Amino acid sequence: MTDPRHFLDLAAMEADTLREIVDLGAAFKRGDADIAPPGCLAGKTLAMIFEKPSTRTRVSFEVGMKQLGGSVVVLAPTEMQIGRGETIADTARVLSRYVDVIMMRTINAGNLRDLANYATVPVINGLTDQSHPCQLMADVMTFEEHRGPIAGKIVAWSGDGNNMVTTWVQAAVKFGFEIRLACPDEFAPSREVLDWGRENGGAVTYTNDPLEAVSGADCVVTDTWVSMGDEAADRRRKILAPYCVNDRLMSAAKPDALFMHCLPAHRGEEVSASVMDGPQSVVWDEAENRLHAQKAILTWCLG
Ligand code: CP
Ligand code: NVA
């Protein structure tokens, strides 16, 4: 039996495979039936385990799977035997006898690893505290549909050094674009992430100065200052206040720079309403592209 095709982290994936997935997502969006046949997952079932809330991930996976002819089971750990101490490993073995692919959003990346280690079907990372790879497939797809190939372009991040930052660094290496990160030291990306990016040939820079990072960028990205599970929200907001993506910061980027945000957004915190709802913002395309990109991920995982 061949190993299942997991989609866990961009760092662990071949660059060619990631390119194939983004292109397949675009084919799904175009409705190109030769490359991306509708109904190609007929008879297949996706199980989704959510240990944290979700709007986009839940709905886009469910709708995507159904549009491909498959079905979905949504599971909350509190309603499963996991909540009463059944191990993730045993849960993985059992679910693998019922379903064809499992997606998990977890409070603990170790749970996802256990699931992938013991499942005999593909496992997809639907967000951990450390990464959010499905989101980045949609983000790269969105950039490219507006501005062409992302390779060689400059993406600037201003805000918290969170799970999205890690995944943007991984994407920069795999898709060949430059990533400039601006975060306060207290909420900086981990040294391990920056080192990994540089050791793997990535153009990755880190500064405390958002203007420096954003200057001349093709795309400006941010995310909430208070991720799911983060504590001390008031303190975080105070320290991160200078990193708000507002009109002044956007004006330092290229005149046609895009603004991206994985959502949910908090206008007046990490982004001003004028940028979020302004002409450079492509956040709704980004949200839509979760659907198309994840159809491609599901199709790739299921061969
Ligand atoms: N961007 C994203 O993953 O959104 P949800 O938390 O709503 O799934
Ligand atoms: N950084 C955010 C992303 C939400 C999609 C979080 O982890 O809560």
What pLDDT digit, counting tens, does each position of 57-104 carry?
Answer: 999 999 999 999 999 999 999 999 998 999 999 999 999 999 999 999
Distance in angstroms (rounded) separating the CA atoms of residues 145 and 192:
32
Instruction: For residue 284, give the amino acid letter.
Output: W
Q: Which residues of the chain have pLDDT under 70?
A: 1
In this predicted structure, what is the pLDDT of residue 1? Answer: 67
Q: For atom 4 of ligand 1, which residue has the closest CA?
A: 56
**Residue from 55, 168, 226, 282 to probe ligand 1 pocket by mutation (most atoms less than 8 Å from CB):** 55
Using CB distances shorter than 6 Å, the residues near ligand 1 are: 54-57, 127, 135, 262-263
227 lines ligand 2 (CB under 6 A): yes
Catalytic annotation on 262? yes
Per-residue pLDDT, 38: 85
Q: What is the pLDDT of residue 110?
A: 97
Tokens of 172: 């920069």
How many Cα atoms within 13 Å fall on the side-chain side of residue 175?
30
- Write out the two tokens for 2: 């061949």
In whole angstroms, give the CA distance from residue 99 to residue 91.
12
